[in-house]
Amino acid sequence: MKQKGLLYTGKAKSVYRTDAKGQLIVEFRDDITAFDGGKKDQLKNKGSYNAEASAFIFQYLEKNGVKTHFLEMLGPRRMLVRELSMIPLEVIVRNIAAGSMVRNYPFKEGTKFKPPVIVIDYKDDSRHDPMLNDDLIVALKLATPKELAAIKKTALKINALLVKLLAAQGITLVDFKIEFGRAGKTIYLGDEISMDSMRLWDMKTKESLDKDVYRFDKGDVMATYNRVVKRITKTESPKRAPSETGRKSKEVPATATALKASVKRPVKKSPVRKR
C-alpha cells in the first residue's frame, strides 16, 4: 500500500490517494479550529487522539452492523478508509440541549430530548452550513427520500450504540455530528467520530470532555482528549440497555479486547505513540 498525492486538505484532516483502488488515507493532523475557523491552533498529539478514538468507535459500530469506511490504521494518525463520494450533509444527533440548540431555540441547556433530535445541515463553509429539512435535501438532490430515511435510521442506531459505549465509562453523549458517503449504491458512515465531533460531559462532574474545552478555554485540551481516549478505548462491556421490545439485544459488547479479537480485517499495531 503506497500513499499517493494529496486529494483534499480540510481544517483538521488531509486525505491522500493510494495505489489501491477505492482506498484513501485520512491523516488526522494536530490542527484544531473552532467558530468557522475563527479560532485555530496546533495541539501536539491531537491528531493521534482523534484517530484512535475514531478507529475504536468505527470498529465498535461495524461489529454492531453499521457500515463504516474504516479499513485499518496505518500508524497513530493515518487511517486507511474506503473511498466515498461524500454526501455534503452534517447529520447531527442531539440527546441533550446545548450549543446552537440553546443559542437558537428556547431550550434550557441540559434539557433532555426524548426521542433524540436529528438536525441536518448543508456542509458548505461558504454558506455557514445552513440547516436543511427533508424537502430541501430532496430538492437539492442530495439524497432520495429512501436514502434520507436510511441515513436517519442509521444515525439513531449509531446514537444508541454510542450512548451505551460512553455511559459505561461515565460519559454522557450530549450530541455528535456524522457524515455519510456513497460507494456504488451503498451508503457508508465516513469521516470521523472523535472528541472534535462529539459533545461529551462527565456524568458525575458535568465537565466538558470535548472540543468545548478548546472553544471556551475551559482547561487543558490535550490532557482532556488523552483522558477521554483512554476511557473510551479501555471501555468494559456496557450494561445491556433493555430493548424496547423486551427481546435480548444482539449487540456485541464493546470490550476493547473483544473488539480486537473479533475485527475481521487485521488492524496493524501502531508504532509507539509519543504522549
Ligand X SMILES: Nc1ncnc2c1ncn2[C@@H]1O[C@H](COP(=O)(O)OP(=O)(O)OP(=O)(O)O)[C@@H](O)[C@H]1O
Question: How distant, in Å, are the alpha carbons of 106, 131, 173 from that of 113?
Answer: 13, 19, 12
238-257 footprint of ligand X as x/- string (CB under 6 A) = --------------------
From the list 11, 67, 215, 230, which residue makes contact with ligand X (rule: CB under 6 A)? Answer: 11
- In the complex with ligand X, the residue whose CB is nearer, 61 or 84, is 84
Q: Using alpha carbons, select from 200, 201, 161, 154 the residue that is nearest to residue 178.
A: 154
From the list 1, 6, 10, 170, which residue makes contact with ligand X (rule: CB under 6 A)? Answer: 10
- Judged by CB under 6 A, which stretch of 11-19, 149-157, 206-214, 222-230 contacts ligand X? 11-19
Which phi and psi angles does 237 have, rounded to 5°?
-55, 120
- Closest contact distance (angstroms) between CB of 239 and ligand X is 32
Q: What angle do CA 184, 187, 190 make, to 5 degrees?
A: 110
From the list 52, 179, 212, 251, which residue makes contact with ligand X (rule: CB under 6 A)? Answer: 179
- In the complex with ligand X, the residue whose CB is nearer, 13 or 94, is 13
For the segment 17-46, give every residue that binds ligand X (CB under 6 A). 24, 26, 33
Report if residue 47 touches ligand X, rule: CB under 6 A: no
Q: Are 47 and 77 in contact (CB under 8 A)?
A: yes
- Closest contact distance (angstroms) between CB of 12 and ligand X is 4
- Closest contact distance (angstroms) between CB of 203 and ligand X is 27
Quickly tell me which residue has 453499521 as its cell.
66
For the chain, state the CA radius of gyration: 18
- What is the distance between the alpha carbons of residues 130 and 24, in angstroms, rounded to a whole number? 28
Q: What angle do CA 240, 193, 82 make, to 5 degrees?
A: 110
For ligand X, which residue has the nearest CB? 10
Report if residue 15 touches ligand X, rule: CB under 6 A: yes
- In the complex with ligand X, the residue whose CB is nearer, 30 or 202, is 30
- Closest contact distance (angstroms) between CB of 109 and ligand X is 24
- What is the distance between the alpha carbons of residues 90 and 178, in angstroms, rounded to a whole number? 6
Quickly tell me which residue has 490504521 as its cell.
73
For the segment 52-91, give every residue that binds ligand X (CB under 6 A). 69, 81-84, 86
Question: How distant, in Å, are the alpha carbons of 32, 33, 84, 118, 122 from that of 133?
Answer: 29, 27, 23, 10, 10
Report if residue 191 touches ligand X, rule: CB under 6 A: yes
- Closest contact distance (angstroms) between CB of 236 and ligand X is 30
- What number of chain residues touch ligand X (CB under 6 A)? 19
From the list 181, 198, 209, 225, which residue makes contact with ligand X (rule: CB under 6 A)? Answer: 181
C-alpha cell at 78: 493515518
Question: How distant, in Å, are the alpha carbons of 110, 162, 186 from that of 200?
Answer: 12, 11, 30
- Closest contact distance (angstroms) between CB of 153 and ligand X is 20
Q: Are 210 and 32 in contact (CB under 8 A)?
A: no
* Interacting residues with ligand X (CB under 6 A): 8, 10-13, 15, 24, 26, 33, 69, 81-84, 86, 179, 181, 190-191
